Amino acid sequence: MTNVVGTLYTGFTNDLLKRVYEHKNKLVKGFTSKYNLDKLIYFESTDDVTVAIAREKQIKGWLRKKKVALIETMNPKWDDLAKDWYGSSVILEERSDEESRNPKDNEILHYVQDDK
């Protein structure tokens, strides 16, 4: 996730749609709500949570320059990849399991964090 000034955040989830919604609506207290990180600019998918955790740790260890290069391989303009995901009346609790997975089952999300 990022914000208007380019602060970066790395994390992972098994429910991409729900987690991005939580960040966009500041439902999760902490770094993302404090710094208004509400733009999804990069993600990767895997069915293996162990792989996701290792990848998150790897990315967090990178310098900002390398993180930016990774983002720009998928999203050179840093567009919000989730900008059209939600209507004005999204109710996440009422989604079926199938609907809660976006874009596929067992989505593991990798944000990019500016920690160096």
Q: Is 55 left (phi over 0), alpha (psi -120 to 50) or beta?
A: alpha
Higher pLDDT, 15 or 101: 15
Summarised one tens digit per residue, pLDDT across range 92-105 is 544 444 444 444 44
**Which pLDDT belongs to residue 108?**
47
Q: Nearest 5°: CA angle at 18, between 96 and 6?
A: 155
Read off the pLDDT of each residue in 73-101 and give the average, rounded to a whole number.
72
Among the listed ranges 60-69, 87-96, 100-109, which one has the minimum average pLDDT value? 100-109
Read off the pLDDT of each residue in 65-90 and give the average, rounded to a whole number.
90
